[in-house]
Structure 1
Amino acid sequence: MTEVEDAEDVTGPQWAAPEEVDDFDGPGPLFEGDQGQLAGEVRRTLVSLLKKRYISADRNPVDWRVLTQNRRLLESRLNELFIKLVVDADRGVAYKRHAHPDQGTQPFPTVLHDQSYSREETILLVHLRMLLRGAQLEDPAVFVDRSELMEEIANYRPAEATNQVRDEKAARAAIDSLVRLDLLIDSGDAERFRVAPIVEVLMSLERLTELVAWLKTLQPGDGDVAEGQ
């Protein structure tokens, strides 16, 4: 019913952290039959961009360095897959978007697929976006407690809802889902998270306004909220 601007990454096992992979930046092909032209570290960052929802300067410093040094080259490789690279240098994040043709109605094929957020996840995303909007310029880091997130979801529980155990289970699952998506970042305390700056980038003020209006009309039994381009 309502969309959040983002696209889910291709599925699969997570790419190893750059500090943990073997050094494969030596001269020559990297495997039998290798026709690739990119250096090993650039290939690795290209894979990170494809597999991860986003990369950030603080959490992925090696990938961020390679990206800033080889941005046009990486953009070229992604463009060949009909993918646009979006880099927000101020917030230190980079993510991808499915490209749309300038003319015509026939969409490009895509290796990305849309993510559907549940009702509870959407409530949390709106709350996180509002928290980021109110962050201080001198200290942009925003933290939130699990109890606050649970309470925010409970605020939208219909008065006639009687299965509190089920509702709390759905709320906990929504929090865990946003942690897996790196939209809530582990702070070292299982009950406290840092809000990922990417939330502000992915959700425009216009989209935020639309979602706030939608939340005001929530009725019991509403389904998932589609996320797409």
Structure 2
Amino acid sequence: MNSSTDVRGDHGNDRSSDEYAGFDELPAVEKARPDESPGAPRFEGDVSALPDRACWALQNLLTRRYVSGDRAPQLWAWVTEYQDALRVRLSELDLRLRIVDEVEVAFVEQAGYDSRWGRKILKRETINTYDAILALHLAKYMRASRDEHVIITTEEIHELFAGVTNTIDRDLALFDKRIGRAIDKLEEMDFLRKHRDDPDTFTVSPVISAVMTASVITDLQRQFEQFIGSGDPGDDVVDSPLPADGAGGDRNSGDAEAEGDEW
């Protein structure tokens, strides 16, 4: 047994010195990373230079108001992973990518500059005056609270409009309908999330903290004060500075959605 062991050891030393000599001098082969290169064509004529996941992230950024980590975690992961490439693609369309890591929300906004050749890719969000008032108050409500999960009831939402009902809207039945429509709109925009077990209780979405920046709040507050001072009942459809749902062309053809005062 001992002699057999010695023989194997001798052969092993010979192979190590001859057969494997120079392996350390061979160039290292880097493993391919398929996520960083385009995959198989998604359709006939596909010439994309981006990975599929980056393309899907871009498509969703252009067709959603925003991508939220708690509602679409996979899309959120792709947006953050490919954000540098996405910023380049969006800049080519005069769009900015906004990523708010604290609440895991990403959205795009139109960049403004003077050019007769430039075209607005994003359509504007058109909302009623009461929608804008509720968005303003919810944003301030959220900022005043240190809790990430802010709960608000229908009754408390009505109380936010106390200044309006006392000075402008004295028809209480119509007033309640306007507030109800505003609640529905902000649910659609994912600013409010209704509780399944209690339809009169809502969670204020963290999305509102991302899109309602200090400058937006200041602008809406100024417009709100003008609205209170005007005595107008507030049925106008207005443009808001909030992210819109989907891409669209310029709103300069006089269609009904673009009419009204700008907020």
- The one-letter amino acid of 1:197's match is P
Distance 1:30 1:86, change over 3 A: same
Q: What does residue 220 of structure 2 align with?
A: 211
- The one-letter amino acid of 1:227's match is S
**Does 2:141 correspond to 1:128?**
no
User: For residues 37-186 of structure 1, what are the structure 2 equivalents within 5 Å?
Assistant: 37-101=49-113, 104=114, 106=116, 108-136=118-146, 139-153=147-161, 155-158=163-166, 161-186=169-194
Deviation at 1:105, TM superposition (A): 5.1
Q: What does residue 196 of structure 1 align with?
A: 205
Deviation at 1:98, TM superposition (A): 0.7
Asked which structure has the greater CA Rg, the reply is 2
Distance between the aligned counterparts of 1:168 and 1:206, measured in 2?
29
Tell me which of the two structures has the higher relative contact order, counting C-alpha pairs closer than 8 angstroms and 6 or more residues apart.
Answer: 1
**Conserved in 2, the CA contact under 8 Å of 1:100 and 1:107?**
no
Deviation at 1:178, TM superposition (A): 0.8
**Conserved in 1, the CA contact under 8 Å of 2:168 and 2:233?**
no
Q: Deviations over 1:14-40 (max 9, x none)?
A: xxxxxxxxxxxx942112222223333
Identity within the alignment, %:
26
Please identify which structure carries the higher helix content: 2
TM-score (norm 2): 0.67
Number of equivalences: 200
CA RMSD for the aligned pairs? 2.5
